[in-house]
Amino acid sequence: MSQAVIELLASDLNHQGGVFCPSPVAGMQTWNTHPKVYLDVGRSGEAKCPYCGTVYKLKDGEHFEGHH
């Protein structure tokens, strides 16, 4: 289990403030990891993958302005 922390720019998030894991920004290949899961990073600034424990968080100073 990885305990990696992946810092993201607001521009790395989709229009809803989310990111998928496994993710190319984390250097992961989808064929050798786990099922794809959506993580809502925009709401709290970070989210942890329930499969691999990777934490995705916005870099300091980055803010997500949600599209409602």
Which one has a higher pLDDT value, 12 or 30? 12
Q: Give the pLDDT of residue 20.
A: 93
Instruction: Read off the pLDDT band of 28 (50, 70, 90).
Output: confident
Q: Give the pLDDT of residue 31.
A: 67
For residues 5-14, one letter each, b for 16 or more C-beta atoms within 10 angstroms of the residue's C-beta and e for the rest, the string is: ebebeeebbe
Strands 5-8 and 55-58: parallel
| Contact predicate 54/2, CB 8 Å | yes
Q: Give the pLDDT of residue 7.
A: 95
